[in-house]
Structure 1
Amino acid sequence: MSDPIISPWRGLMILLALAHIVGTVGYISVMAMAPLIRVDLNLNATQVGSFMSAFYVALAISALPAGLWVDRIGVGRGLALSMGFMAMGALGFAIADGYLTAVLATFVMGVGYGLVNPATAKGVLDGFGPKERATAMGVKQMGVPIGGLLAAGVGAGTSYYSWRDAMIGAAVFTGLVGVAWWLRRGPKSEVISVGPMLLWTNFYADLRAILANANMRAVNFAGFNFNMSQQSISTYLTLFLRDVAGASQPVASLCLGGAQVASAVGRVLWALISDRRNSGRRKGVLILAMALGTGGCFLSITVGPGWSLPFLLALASLSGVTILAYAPMLHTICAEVVEPRLAGSAIGSNLLATSIGGTIGPLIFGVLIDWTGGYSVSWLMTGLVIFFGVFALAIGLREDQDSKSLS
Structure 2
Amino acid sequence: MTDVRSAATPGWVPLVTTVTLVQAVLALMTRTLPLLGMPLTEASGMPPEAVGQLSSATSFGSMLFFLWGPALLSFLPSLRQLQLGCALASVALVFCATGRWEGMLLAAFVIGLGYGPSTPAGSDLLMKVTPRHRRATIFSIKQAGVPLGGLAAGLLLPAIVVATDSLTATLVTAALLALGSALALGLMKGPVDVAPPLRAPITLGGLLTAPVRLIALLLRSPQLRLITAAGFCLGIAQGIVMGYFPVFLSDHAGWSLAAAGAGFALLQGLGVAGRVMMGWLSDRIGDTAKALSMLCFLSAGTMMLLATIGPGSPAPWVFALAALAGITVVSWNGVFLTGLAEAAPEGRVGEITAAGTFVLFSGYVICPLLIQGVIAATDGYAAGLILSGLAPGLAGLALTIGARRRRR
Q: What's the secondary structure of 1:159's corresponding residue?
A: helix
Show the counterpart of 2:127: 125
Q: What's the secondary structure of 2:162's corresponding residue?
A: coil
Show the counterpart of 1:52: 55
Alignment partner of 2:358 out of 343, 352, 355: 352
Show the counterpart of 1:303: 309
Show the counterpart of 2:267: 259
Distance 1:190 1:28, change over 3 A: closer
Answering whether residue 397 of structure 2 is matched by residue 391 of structure 1, we say yes
**Aligned runs of 1:299-338 on 2, under 5 Å?**
299-338=305-344
Q: Which runs of 5+ in 2 are unaligned?
A: 1-5
Q: Which moved more, 1:198-207 or 1:372-381?
A: 198-207
Q: Aligned partners of 1:398 and 1:328: how far apart in 2? A: 24
**Aligned runs of 1:70-219 on 2, under 5 Å?**
70-93=73-96, 95-128=97-130, 130=132, 133-157=135-159, 158-161=161-164, 162-184=166-188, 188-192=194-198, 194-196=200-202, 207-219=215-227
Structure 1 residue 47: deviation in Å? 2.6
**1:154 maps to amino acid:** L
**1:160 maps to amino acid:** A
Distance 1:129 1:250, change over 3 A: same
Q: Aligned partners of 1:300 and 1:293: how far apart in 2? A: 11
Q: Aligned partners of 1:300 and 1:371: how far apart in 2? A: 19
**1:370 maps to amino acid:** A
Show the counterpart of 2:3: none
Show the counterpart of 1:405: none
Q: What's the secondary structure of 1:324's corresponding residue?
A: coil
Identical positions, percent: 24
Alignment partner of 2:32 out of 29, 38, 41: 29
Contact in 1 for aligned 2:123/2:349 (Cα 8 Å): no
Deviations 1:352-382 (A, max 9, x none): 1111000011111112111221112111211
Q: Aligned partners of 1:365 and 1:202: how far apart in 2? A: 31
Structure 1 residue 203: deviation in Å? 8.7
Structure 1 residue 127: deviation in Å? 4.5
Contact in 2 for aligned 1:53/1:363 (Cα 8 Å): yes
Distance 1:273 1:76, change over 3 A: closer
Structure 1 residue 178: deviation in Å? 0.6
Show the counterpart of 1:62: 65
Answering whether residue 372 of structure 2 is matched by residue 374 of structure 1, we say no
Distance 1:191 1:313, change over 3 A: same
Show the counterpart of 2:279: 271
Q: Aligned partners of 2:281 and 2:13: how far apart in 1? A: 23
Q: Aligned partners of 1:203 and 1:72: how far apart in 2? A: 18
Contact in 2 for aligned 1:57/1:107 (Cα 8 Å): yes
TM-score by length of 1: 0.89
Q: Aligned partners of 1:232 and 1:337: how far apart in 2? A: 28
**1:117 maps to amino acid:** T
Q: Aligned partners of 1:326 and 1:137: how far apart in 2? A: 11
Contact in 1 for aligned 2:302/2:329 (Cα 8 Å): no
Q: Which moved more, 1:83-92 or 1:214-223?
A: 214-223
Q: Aligned partners of 1:254 and 1:171: how far apart in 2? A: 21
Contact in 1 for aligned 2:71/2:202 (Cα 8 Å): no
Structure 1 residue 49: deviation in Å? 0.6
Distance 1:33 1:190, change over 3 A: closer
Count of residue correspondences: 397
Structure 1 residue 222: deviation in Å? 1.9
Structure 1 residue 69: deviation in Å? 4.1
Q: Aligned partners of 1:145 and 1:2: how far apart in 2? A: 25
Q: Cα RMSD over matched residues?
A: 2.7
Q: Aligned partners of 2:194 and 2:68: how far apart in 1? A: 17
Structure 1 residue 124: deviation in Å? 1.8
Show the counterpart of 1:238: 246
Distance 1:105 1:236, change over 3 A: same
Q: Aligned partners of 2:218 and 2:310: how far apart in 1? A: 45
Contact in 2 for aligned 1:70/1:115 (Cα 8 Å): no
Show the counterpart of 2:296: 290
Q: What's the secondary structure of 2:119's corresponding residue?
A: helix
Q: What's the secondary structure of 1:71's corresponding residue?
A: coil
Structure 1 residue 91: deviation in Å? 3.0
Distance 1:132 1:225, change over 3 A: closer
Structure 1 residue 65: deviation in Å? 2.7
Structure 1 residue 128: deviation in Å? 4.5
TM-score by length of 2: 0.88
Structure 1 residue 134: deviation in Å? 4.6
Q: Which runs of 5+ in 1 are unaligned?
A: 403-407
Structure 1 residue 243: deviation in Å? 2.4
